[in-house]
Amino acid sequence: MRRVVRGVIGFAGFLLVWELFSRSGVVREEFLPPPTTVFARLAVLLTEPPFVADVVATVLAWLIAVVIASAIAVPLGLLLGSVPSVAAASRALVEFLRPIPSVALIPLVIVLLGVGPETKITLAVYASLWPLLFNTIYAMSEIDPVQVDTARAFGLSRSRILWTVQLPHAAPFVMTGVRISASIALILVISTELLAGGSGGLGQVIFDAGAGGGRMDIVLSATLVAGVIGFLGNAALEKVQRRWLGWDDQIDAGR
C-alpha cells in the first residue's frame, strides 16, 4: 500500500510540475498543453469510436506480437541453453541478427507484407524476441549442475528433468524477459504505426494529429493512453510473476 501511495504522489507531482511549466509562458500552450487540457481532450477522444478503434488495434497487435515472440523465444532459448552444440552453431547468426534495428526493416517488411497489421506485428515480434531469448538462455546456463545430476541419478528422463528441474528454475527469468519484451513490442507497434501507417492505431493518431494541424493535445492524449497500456500490461505480468512464481516474494522475505 505504501508503494502505491508513493507512486501516486510521484505521478501527481509530475503532473503539477507539467501544469506549472506549461502555464508559465516559457513554452506556448499549443506546443506543450497543460495536463488539464490534455485530460479534457482525452475524455472527449474516449467517447469517439474511431479513437477507441485505434486503441483496440494497437492493443490487439501488441498482444499478438507478445504471444508469438514468447512462443518462439522460450522453446528456442530452452534448446540453445541446454544443447551447447546447437548454441555454438547458431551463435554467429544470432549475434548478427540481434543488433539490426527493427525500424530499419520497415521498408522491407512493407514490400513483403504490405501496410496491414501484419507489418507492425512482424516488426514487434522481431524486436521483442531477443530479450526473452537471452533471458531464457541465461536461465538455463545458471542452473546448478548438482540439481540436474541428482535428477539423473534418480533415473529421471531428459523430458522429466526439463519439466521438474530446469523449467521451474528458468521460469522467473523467462517472465522477466516477457515483461521486457512486452514493453519493446508496444514501442515497436506504435512506432511502426507512426512511420508506416496504413493499419490504424495510436501511432497513426499521433502522426495525423502532429503533422496535420499540430494538435499537441491529441498527440499527448494518445501518448498517455500508450503509457497506460504499457503500465497496465507490466502490472498484470508482475502480478502473475508474484502470484505463481513467487520469486519476488522470496527475495523480499530474505531481506
Q: Based on the structure, what is the number of domains in the chain?
A: 1
Q: In which residue are the cell numbers 522481431 written?
A: 126
Better-scored residue on pLDDT, 138 or 4: 138
Q: pLDDT digits over 8-50, tens only?
A: 888 888 888 888 888 887 877 778 888 888 899 999 999 999 9
Whether residue 212 lies inside any domain: the answer is yes
**Would 240 be classed as within a structural domain?**
yes
What cell does 167 get?
523449467
What percent of the chain is helix, strand and coil (3-state, nearest 5)?
85, 0, 15
What percent of the chain is predicted at pLDDT more than 90?
31
DSSP H helical ranges for the chain: 2-22, 35-45, 49-82, 84-97, 106-113, 117-141, 145-153, 158-161, 167-195, 202-211, 216-240, 247-253
- Domain around 244: 36-253
The answer as to whether 23 is a domain residue is no
Q: Does the residue 9 lie in any domain?
A: no
Domain CATH code at residue 217: 1.10.3720.10
Q: Is residue 22 part of a domain?
A: no
pLDDT tens string 104-119? 888 888 888 888 889 9
Q: Determine, yes or no, domain membership for 93.
A: yes
CB half-sphere exposure, 213, CA atoms < 13 A: 5
Tell me: pLDDT of 250 over 50.
no
Phi, psi of 197, deg, nearest 5:
65, -165
Phi/psi region, residue 198 (left: phi>0; alpha: psi -120 to 50; beta: rest), is: left
In this structure, of 184-188, 238-242, 244-248, the range with the lowest mean pLDDT score is 244-248
Query: Measured between alpha carbons, how far is 82 from 166 in angstroms, rounded to an integer?
Result: 9
Q: Kindly state whether residue 248 falls inside one of the protein's structural domains.
A: yes
Residue 172 half-sphere exposure, CB side, CA atoms within 13 Å? 12
> What does pTM read for this prediction?
0.85
Residue 7 lies in a domain: no
pLDDT of residue 253 exceeding 70, the answer is no
